[in-house]
Structure 1
Amino acid sequence: MRPPLRLKLGALELFVLNDGDIWLDGGSTFGVVPRVVWTRLTEPDEQNRIRLSMNPLLARVAGQWVLVETGIDRKPGPKHRELYKLGDENPLLAQLAALGVAPEDISWVINTHLHFDHAGLNTRWQGGRLLPTFPNARYVVQRQELEEATHPHERSRASYLPENIGPVLEAGLFEAVEGETELLRGLRLVPVPGHTLGMQAVELESEGQRLAFTADLIPTLMQTPLPYIMAFDLYPMTTLETRKRTYARWLEGDYLLVFTHEPGHPLGKLVVGDKGYRAEPANP
């Protein structure tokens, strides 16, 4: 288990957390990229699954704690955990506690989207009831994503689990935004449709330094090339166009990137060469 990774972004203090590993089908994760190509980048297990991680981001912005993503849902039970080779517990809360941050201290939870591996600890069992894990937080999501999550279709239903969404709705804690939004000074939400139409990335800026949390636009460093789009993306051609537009922005702005599913070092920067875009590991 990787411990929290501390970094400074200008005057901001950030921590890249870890909520453990998830093992997903390698072919689905790399989409149209042939197995003979993607196995040069990562080694699958005996069931063709590859190791990914969950890397939520904790930031102190304007005197408030902001948590970007809440890790994976382990609540469905042992079959679910076996399918994805999950541990029994969410280490996210323990990592927060080690930093002296209690769930009640979080003022903002940013859901890049509401899939079970990104919003899994939106809720937890407390006193025999499913309740919001962060009771004093506003859970910020794009309005379109909230609409899709509460009215899923046959293709998306398995990814949107009501247990991660319903209790937050009932508590009135969701804050739906529309389009690019400055949530706090130096913290901006940027729509990055494709994986879902309502997915958003998170950009932070302080003293001329910039960082972007990529969400599933770029799940891992090795999936940076433009055509390396997951089969899980509901709108892959939209992903492609979003990548072209957003990559140009992040490259020009010299953004440090946090990859939401990177199993190794979670930080990188975009570079472009003869074969197009790729990412290189970067130090904090």
Structure 2
Amino acid sequence: MRRIEIGRFEVFLLEDASFRLDGGAMYGVVPRVIWQKVAPSDELGRIALKIRPMLVRDGERWILVETGMDVKPGEKHRKIYGIERAERLLGQLAELGLEPADINIVVNTHLHFDHCGLNTISREGKIVPLFTNASYLVQRQELRDSLNTHERNRASYLAENIEPVLEAGLFAEIEGEAEVVPGMRLVPLPGHTLGQQGVVLESEGKTLVYTADLMPTLAHAPLAYIMAYDLYPVTTLETRKRRYAEWLEKNALIATPHDPEHPLGRLRLGERGYYAEPV
């Protein structure tokens, strides 16, 4: 866990599970000989990744961005994705003296299982929302797509992470850009999914951006390094061009959801285009 201050905001960069995904899928059209230099693969062609939620304190309010990876899907799921230390998020909240009931707002950047696994938890044989006192902020487009899946996205959306929250009336649907609290905005980042959103914190001249899967790791900063998992890769490219220019101008700190080593970086623009430096 790493703590930083963005003006009046106290920010905790958390670590949840470690897991693995296919390296070719993670880097799309980028040749293996190139991406393996920054992301060595195992014998199954998978690269190491982490789940990196973010916790924000604004006065008496606690805002959790992403809810990490869970164990509900079972052993087969764990083996396929090489998941280790799922649900570590709960221990990190406890280290800060927090229980799930203390969280006031949950931001779901999107509803893929590796980003919202602890939206819910299994208790006494029933799957129920974990953050019972929180509003779960999600783009309306994302919620709609998660409930109307197709062959291309079905494996990423698990009903057990979504439907109990919906049934409990805890989702707060957002359309477009929205202010969570003064200085904290949700911004649409379409491409990976149409309803993906990121988080921008701005206070006292400092800026931090949580990129969601627009930039899953710092190594994915180059414009062409777009995942095969992205449903709309050209939209990802257009979103990156627009947002990168804004974030570079503000010298924003960049927090990605899956970097295996570095919780923070900054965008840079060199002769060969954009790249990110760890901070």
TM-score interval w.r.t. the shorter chain? over 0.9
Counterparts of residues 217-228 of structure 1 (less than 5 Å) = 217-228=214-225
Report the residue type matching 1:253 in the other structure.
K
State the Cα distance separating 1:127 from its structure 2 match: 2.3
Q: Distance in 1 between matches of 2:262 and 2:85?
A: 24
Report the residue type matching 1:245 in the other structure.
R
| Structure 1 residues 197-245: Cα deviation after superposition (integer angstroms, max 9, x where no partner) | 0000000111111100010000001111000000000000000000000
Counterparts of residues 5-154 of structure 1 (less than 5 Å) = 5-87=2-84, 89-154=86-151
Contact 1:81 1:88 in 2 (8 A): no
Secondary structure at 1:66's aligned position in 2? strand
Q: Distance in 2 between matches of 1:75 and 1:235?
A: 29
Percent of pairs identical after alignment?
57
Task: Normalising by structure 2, report the TM-score.
Answer: 0.98
Structure number with higher helix proportion? 2
Which residue does 1:182 correspond to in 2? 179
State the Cα distance separating 1:178 from its structure 2 match: 0.3
Q: Distance in 2 between matches of 1:155 and 1:256?
A: 33
Which residue does 2:245 correspond to in 1? 248
Contact 1:269 1:279 in 2 (8 A): yes
Structure 2 unaligned regions, length at least 5: none
Report the residue type matching 2:104 in the other structure.
S
Secondary structure at 1:46's aligned position in 2? coil
Contact 2:18 2:85 in 1 (8 A): no
Q: Distance in 1 between matches of 2:238 and 2:59?
A: 33
Contact 2:70 2:86 in 1 (8 A): no
- Number of residues paired by the alignment? 279
Which residue does 1:163 correspond to in 2? 160
Report the residue type matching 1:143 in the other structure.
R
CA RMSD, Structure 1 to Structure 2 (Å)? 0.8
* Counterpart pick for 1:231 among 228, 231, 243: 228
Q: Distance in 1 between matches of 2:97 and 2:35?
A: 40
Q: Distance in 2 between matches of 1:215 and 1:63?
A: 25
Contact 1:62 1:185 in 2 (8 A): no
Contact 1:62 1:184 in 2 (8 A): no
| Structure 1 residues 152-177: Cα deviation after superposition (integer angstroms, max 9, x where no partner) | 11111110000000000010000001
Task: Normalising by structure 1, report the TM-score.
Answer: 0.97
Structure 1 unaligned regions, length at least 5: none
Secondary structure at 1:166's aligned position in 2? helix
State the Cα distance separating 1:88 from its structure 2 match: 5.7
State the Cα distance separating 1:36 from its structure 2 match: 0.5
1:200 aligns with 2:192: no
State the Cα distance separating 1:19 from its structure 2 match: 0.6
Give the 4+ runs in structure 1 shifted more than 4 A. none
Contact 1:74 1:86 in 2 (8 A): no
Secondary structure at 1:144's aligned position in 2? helix
